[in-house]
Each structure stands twice: as structure tokens, then as C-alpha cells.
Chain A
Amino acid sequence: MSSENLMTLNLKIWRQKNNKEKGEIVDYTIDGISPDASFLEMLDILNEKLIKEGSDPVAYDHDCREGICGMCSLMINGQAHGPEAETTTCQLHMRKYKDGDTIVIEPFRARAFPVLKDLMIDRQAFDDIIAAGGFVNVNTGNPQDANAILVPKENAELAMDAASCIGCAACVASCKNASAMLFVSAKVSQLALLPQGQVEADERVKNMVLKMDELGFGNCTNEAECEASCPKGISISNIARLNRDFLKAAVTSND
């Protein structure tokens, strides 16, 4: 453990009072940061200091701090969730930085995700996309025995890979078109890979893509930045699957 090497850092943080006013980058210097602290604990320490001074602490979203809830976000030096691959901001640790570093911290930006305050954004659009079709239409009741639906192990694994999406929106924030294709394709793929999702497969992909377009997300132009920034390593092969399914749904559609 390296608790002796406490760091001093220069932070440049986006401050914005609410979703109506304009924001700006504000400079802060913070010292005494242990390399063992997490990135969010570093922000906690900054906030504790701001509170002592009587200023407004920096608002940012977080909850589980275990990399699973998808609540945390942040563009850190221009990278969604910071420099470490397949790692959410809450799992990033300060040992990635050195004494004297400058860190620019901004919210995820996309037309569909307005900034609410400082680093907090509104991701309601993702819920709207799921409500448009990201489910199997089955009511609670007495479904058949779970083992009556057999799923080849390989498909089960692929479905699980896709289902690991935490809905954090890093993919949208990293995409120059602010496309939500990785998010949508992950849900479409998960269900397309399972027998349970087959019946409504065509409807699902059409409705979700339609909703995505309607909400102001951009088109996918195969930049693959989404995959690179995804903290859960969701593959862009899901986008290819979505495209195939979408085409098929469009061709067989009778409306």
C-alpha cells in the first residue's frame, strides 16, 4: 500500500446551476489524495472541502459504487468513465493518476440527455426506449417449467454478454453522432438470442429503433467508439445483429 504518496491535483470541473442556465469549467486544486481512494471518493473529499467553505458541492450521480447500477457517468479528460478499459468511474482509482496531474471532468453530453446540474444528466430516454419494446410480453402467472425452455449454452452466454449492459450511456456520450445503437442492440440481441424473445422479435426491433430515432439519438456510422468506452465490454457485433433483424423485420412487415 502506498498511502504515503499523497497527491495534489488540478481539477477542471463543469459547473452548471440547472438545465436552463449556461455552465462553465471551474478550476479547483485538491491535495492529500491517496492513490487508494476511488475517483468518486476524491470528489467526495473535494465536496467536503467546498461545504466547509460554504460553497455548493459538485453534483454528480452515483449509487452502487460497484460498477453495476449504471448511475455514475462523467467524461474524464475526454473519455467516458476515464482511462481504464471496462471500468466505470466508480471503480476507477486514483492510483491511475500522478501528483500534479490536471483532470478535466465533464458530464456525458448528448441531445437526448440534458444536463440537470453540474455533472448530472437526465437519461429518461433510455427508459422510454425500453418501454417501447425492450421486454418479453409475458404476464405474471403460471408459465411453463423453466427447464421446458432449453437454451443452447452458447446462446445463453451470448445473451448474458448482451444483457450485462448497465444503461450508463457511455456509448452515447462517446459517439460523435450520439447514437444509442449499442444500448438498443444489446437489449434486442439478448432477447433475439433466446427462444422466449422470438415471438415478438420483429415488432421489438422496429419499435425500439423507431423510439430511438424519435428521441433524437443520432445514426450509427460504425465508429466503434461506443464499444471502446463501454464499461461492460458490450460488443458492436450486437449492432450488426440488430441491423440484420431490423432489415428482416422491415422486409417481412405488412404495414
Chain B
Amino acid sequence: MSDIKKLDGKVPAGDIQDKWDNHRFNMKLVNPSNKRKYHVIVVGTGLAGASAAATLSELGYQVSTFCIQDSPRRAHSIAAQGGVNAAKNYPNDGDSVWRLFYDTVKGGDYRSREANVYRLAQVSNNIIDQCAAQGVPFAREYGGTLSNRSFGGAQVSRTFYARGQTGQQLLLGAYSAMMKEVGKGKVKSYTRREMVELVIVNGKARGIITRNVVTGEYEKFSADAVLLCTGGYGNTYFLSSNAMASNGSAAWKAYKKGAMFANPCYTQIHPTCIPQHGDFQSKLTLMSESLRNDGRVWVPKAKADKRAALDIPEEERDYYLEEKYPSFGNLVPRDVAARNAKQQSDLGKGVGSTGVAVYLDFADAIKRDGIESIRAKYGNLFEMYQRITDENPYEVPMRIFPAVHYTMGGLWVDYNLMTTVPGCFALGEANFSDHGANRLGASALMQGLADGYFVIPFTLGNYLAGEDLINQKVDTSAKEFDEALTESEARFTKLLGINGNKSVDSFHRELGVVMWDNVGMARTEESLKTAISKIKDIRADFWKNVKVTGTADGINIELEKANRVADFLELGELMARDALERKESCGGHFRDEYQTEDNEARRVDDEFCHVAAWEFTSVDKEPIRNIEELSFENVALSQRSYK
């Protein structure tokens, strides 16, 4: 126990309202004429990366960006549908910075760092102003002002949106801001480049090794700081709503080089996804949770009732959310809705051919508001549903089931967004910082852009000036770069050389099933121990029997996937281990052993009001669980209740 470190989140002193302002004043500045002497590497061009790259370049830094896709514009952020929160209070319905802060801390089930959340709420309004100035086509009212909607069960309308394509439009805004700097020659954009190693020189992050996925070449890049904006690791479960290339590898490389990994077990399972339809399924599609504003969730009262939905009379239907949570009904938070769907399906009351789904029914809303009104609100979602399932949701209820969607855990960062490796920062979904144990709808886009546009531009300067890096230039001739390159190359060569008999995907699917069954919506000590041992077995099998076709040079998609799956096979184990050690239920982490009498999550604040920050030792040795204590000075700890 004595090895446990207590991490310092470096939260500035003062009242919560003043912390960020004071800190901004106290931070060191880089002289304008010196900025161009610094080179910053930004890995990832989603909302977090693109906004950081654009802003840092505008300030005068030299920036290089890296992404896996063929264009920075295609990062996974593009898929976000619902919207982005801000405390503008345009509808005059009682919102404020304080309320957004409060809701986010409570929504996160009191497992986030108060000061970070407050700062997030504070800069949320600047985000909307900035995006509007860029020409992001937000939805508007007839008077020309911006529209808002209520989202994810919030009791105020604070969500800004651009049809069902908010992530796309915000990303295109950040991308075009970044491309304007590319056009000026100040940002260098490297596409189809995968970071395969972080390079550390004299204890500081000084560069990366990438693999050019078109040529197969390894390349060295040096810098004064490295920003990891590489997204979340939901694809550990194989099936998720994340894009196919979303992965945990960049964060994992940093972890293995000393960056601690915080709260890996906090996973968000989104309640409204289209259920799995076959073994060949490659990913799951999210149906925006705005549907729960009008859809009613139900299952048959009787078990294994195989009748078609329309043949089940009203009195034989169980509207279990409305019954159990009379005041929030179908609008309970994501984790609650998801867990209840699973319970129903476990009870044998699931619907559809697989029995692993519940109904989301619009019949009453259509009767009440008319089909046209429902079409106007959800037309594109209904079309998407029909395209995928071949069923018409205007006529029969949708079938939905929860799916992995977002990871609240990630690289541990201090208030300045710096990991435990000096000079290595983490932004966006890649860090753990603002959402605690559960993220509220429309808050990930907000956080990614807050980190990139409004936080890192200040805190990075403070680091660069404070460390006097201008006098410690490092270039790629340093031996550490060659060592890291040799190491990465060896790993890929090894993967190619195994030449076993099972495909990369088959291992990924196998891992996914273990994760979903044992580290999913309801976890127990036993399931988690099972997961750890099974994952170890799959990992051993992988390194013996995986078959990676093709060669080291040129495009080799199997090889790219193998590298990522190898990391998921380690990351999955850490997720299970973290879940095992967190002997409480909170937000997205639900342990069967820790529930209240009405089956709600029971936190154990005395023992677990902290962040778990895992420190790597070696692949086959147990990692060290360090902690950062959390204190709640502004929002009193209480039991969440949505009854």
C-alpha cells in the first residue's frame, strides 16, 4: 500500500468562480516573437485536436497534426448528432454557468474534479460565439436568433444544434479554421499517419513515431510538446457506436511510457441504439436520445412473448420506465435507462428475434401530435432506422438496445491538461477530466472544443515558458527516437510473423463478447475476475495464433488493426481491474453488489471519492493504483434520484 501516490490535480487556489481567471493571470506567457520557435505535435484532428491546432497556430506556434483518416475532417467527432451544451440562457429558462456546472457534477455522480467542470461551464458560452463566428450553421428561430433544445433529460434548454449533424458542423468549423492555417503554411497536416510511439527525452515528451499507413514507413517527429487528442476507447467492446478506426492505442502508448490512466472502468452505455442483427455485425448505430422525448419504452408483461408488437394489447405492455420513475419517466439519465433495458431483457422480456431489445414506441406521440409533426422532428432518424432494419417506425415500434458509446475514463491530466509525463497533454475524450463517472448528453462536444480552443492555448504556453524549453532543443537525431522507432518496427514485424490461423477481427470480437458480458452494464466481483482471466487467455492466444496477411510495406489494413487490437487486449484488462477495485456503483459503473433497495447505484463516498490513476509496471505485472482525492466544496454530495 505504501507505493500509492496521491496525485495533485494542480487546482488553483481561490473561489471556484475565480480560479480560472486567476490562473490565467498567473500563468507564464511565451513572448510573441518566440512562439514560432516552438513546435507542437497534435495527434488527432477531432474537435479537440482541430480546435487546438487552429488556435495554437493562430497564436504563432508551429504545429503539426496527425490523423488516421485520409482527411482531418473525418475524425469520429463528425458522427455526433444531438448537440452541444452551453450556459447561454438564451431561452431565459433559468440556466446559468452555475447550473451547468451543478448539473454536470451531479450527472457525473460526484466523481469529477469540481474546478475543471466549473471552467468547462464558464467557457461554454465562448464556444458558441466562436463557432457562430466561423459560420457554423446552427439551427435558428424565425427572428434569426439561435435555437435551443432540451436534451438528455436536462431541465433547461441549453443544447445548440445543427439538425441531427451537430458534430459534423462543429468539426467542419474547427477543420476549416485549421485548414486556413494549413493554407498559410503554419500547420502541417499529416493524414493517414498513425502514431505508434511516444518519444521521451530527459523525462519529457519530445516527439512521436508514426507509421505511414500508405507506404508502411516509420517516421520520427520531434517537438516541444505532444498533445494527444485521440478520442475514446469504446471499441474495446468491438461493437460500439464509435467509428471503426476509433482506438485506444495512442493513449495506451503514453500509458506505457508513464502517463497514468484514470478511471478506465467508466464507460457510457447509450440506451438507444439499433440492436445487433447478426454475427457479421461490424458496429452499432446510435439513434439520438432526443427520441426519448416522444417515444415510450415498453416490453411485454409476459416473458418470452413472441407476438408481434401490434398484437400485444395495451394492458399486456409494461412501460417499465414510466412506472418505476414517475417524475422522469422515459427521460431518466442514460445509465439508468440502459440498465433497466438490460434488466428487462435478462428477465426474458426482451423483444425482436433475438430477444435482446426493448420497444421505443411513437404511436401515442403520432396520435397526439400528428404524423407530420413527428416527421418534422425525427424524419431523418426514422429513415435511418428503416434503412438499417427494414421496418417502418411510423407503423411499428422501434426496437432499441443499449450499446457502448463513450468512455469517461482516459489519460489522467491535471488542471492544465497535462498527463503525468511532462510535455504530454491529453484533450477531448482521450482525457478523463470533466465527466466523472457519467457524461451528460451534448457535453462531449463542449469539452473537446473547450480544451482545444480555450484551455490549452493558455496552459501550454505556461509549460513551454516555465520549462525554458527554448534552450533545450531536441531533434530526431537523438538516440531516443531511433530506439522508439526500432521498438515499434519490431512490434509490427512480430505481428506479421506470427502467421497463425485466426483473423484479427475474430480476436477483437472475442474480446468484445467478454467485455460486454462481464464489464458491461452490470458488473460483479466474479464477472470481473472472469474477465481478467479470459482476457489474459485471449491475449496469449492472439500473440500465438493471429494471422496478419500481407506485408510490412504498402497499405496493410490487417496490420493496422492488429496493432490496435493488441492494445485493446491490454486495455480491456485494465478496465476490468479498475472496475474490480472500485467497490461501489457510480454513474456508468454499476456493481451488482452495491445498489440501493430500489436497485439504484450506491456510491461509497467514504472510500471511493477519488480518481483511480493507474500506473504501468509491465504487461504481465499488476499496475499500481494511485489516487487523486476529490473534494466537493461547492456541490454537496448526495444520492442521485430520478424518481
Contacts and interface: CB of A to CB of B under 8 A. Distances in A.
A138 B549 CA distance: 47
Interface in B382-419: 384, 387-390
Interface residues of B, number: 80
A135 B176 CA distance: 5
A19 to B, nearest CB: 9
Interface in A132-155: 132-147, 149-153
A149 B183 contact: no
Interface in A86-142: 87, 91, 93, 95, 116-117, 120, 122-124, 126-127, 130-142
A144 B549 CA distance: 55
Contact of B245 (A48, A63, A70, A190): A63
B505 A48 contact: yes
A126 B71 contact: yes
- By secondary structure, the A interface counts as loop
B278 A147 contact: no
B58 A140 contact: yes
B141 interface: yes
B243 to A, nearest CB: 4
Nearest to B352: A1
B90 to A, nearest CB: 7
Contact of B549 (A57, A68, A149, A164): A57
Give the most central of B55, B134, B165, B281: most A CB within 10 Å.
B134
Given A143-B132, A144-B129, A167 B244 contact: no
B183 A34 contact: no
Given A38-B282, A63-B243, A146 B137 contact: no
Interface string B219-254: 000000000000000000000000111000000000
B140 A151 contact: yes
Nearest to A197: B135
Contacts of B145: 147, 150
Given A66-B285, A123-B70, A51 B549 contact: yes
Given A131-B180, A136-B134, A147-B145, A123 B549 contact: no
A52 B389 CA distance: 30
Interface string B438-470: 000000000000000110010000000000000
B558 A57 contact: yes
Contacts of B134: 135-136, 138, 196
B390 to A, nearest CB: 6
Interface string B70-95: 11111010110000000010100000
A120 B135 contact: no
Contacts of A62: 244
B340 interface: no
A113 to B, nearest CB: 10
Nearest to A40: B282
A31 interface: no
A241 interface: no
B23 interface: no
A132 B183 contact: yes
A194 B55 CA distance: 23
B183 A56 contact: no
Nearest to B172: A163
A52 B79 contact: no
Contact of B182 (A44, A117, A131, A152): A131
A91 B139 CA distance: 26
Given A36-B278, A59-B555, A153-B140, A93 B387 contact: yes
A12 interface: no
B554 interface: yes
A163 B282 contact: no
A17 interface: yes
B381 to A, nearest CB: 11
A220 interface: no
Contacts of A71: 69-70, 74
Give the most central of B74, B130, B165, B214: most A CB within 10 Å.
B74
A63 B555 contact: no
B448 to A, nearest CB: 14
A141 B133 CA distance: 10
Contacts of A68: 78-79, 165, 168
B387 A65 contact: no
A132 B558 CA distance: 35
A164 B165 contact: yes
Interface in A186-235: 190-191, 194, 196-197
A18 to B, nearest CB: 5
Contacts of B353: 1, 3
A86 B558 CA distance: 31
B144 interface: yes
Give the most central of A140, A149, A194: most B CB within 10 Å.
A140
A91 B40 CA distance: 38
Given A18-B554, A122-B70, A127 B144 contact: no
A54 B503 CA distance: 10
B135 A17 contact: no
Contact of B177 (A93, A140, A146): A140
B547 interface: yes
A17 B553 CA distance: 11
Interface string A68-83: 1111000000000000
B132 A146 contact: yes
A65 B244 contact: yes
A124 B135 contact: no
A135 B133 contact: no
Given A3-B353, A38-B282, A64-B76, A130 B503 contact: no
Interface in B355-379: none
Interface of B: 51, 54-55, 58, 69-74, 76, 78-79, 88, 90, 126, 128-135, 137-146, 162-163, 165, 168-169, 172, 175-177, 179-180, 182-183, 189, 191, 214, 243-245, 277-278, 280-283, 285-286, 353, 384, 387-390, 453-454, 457, 503, 505-506, 547, 549-550, 554-555, 557-558
21 contacts: A3-B278, A35-B390, A36-B278, A37-B278, A48-B503, A51-B549, A63-B69, A67-B384, A71-B74, A117-B554, A127-B73, A133-B183, A134-B176, A135-B177, A139-B55, A140-B457, A150-B143, A150-B145, A151-B140, A156-B139, A197-B135
Given A54-B547, A93-B390, 6 more contacts: A1-B353, A55-B549, A67-B384, A68-B165, A138-B177, A146-B128
Interface of A: 1-3, 17-18, 34-38, 40-41, 44-45, 48, 50-52, 54-57, 59, 61-71, 84, 87, 91, 93, 95, 116-117, 120, 122-124, 126-127, 130-147, 149-153, 156, 159-160, 163-164, 166-167, 190-191, 194, 196-197
Closest 10 pairs (CB-CB, A-B)? A150-B144, A135-B176, A146-B132, A131-B183, A143-B133, A156-B140, A160-B137, A140-B55, A117-B555, A159-B137
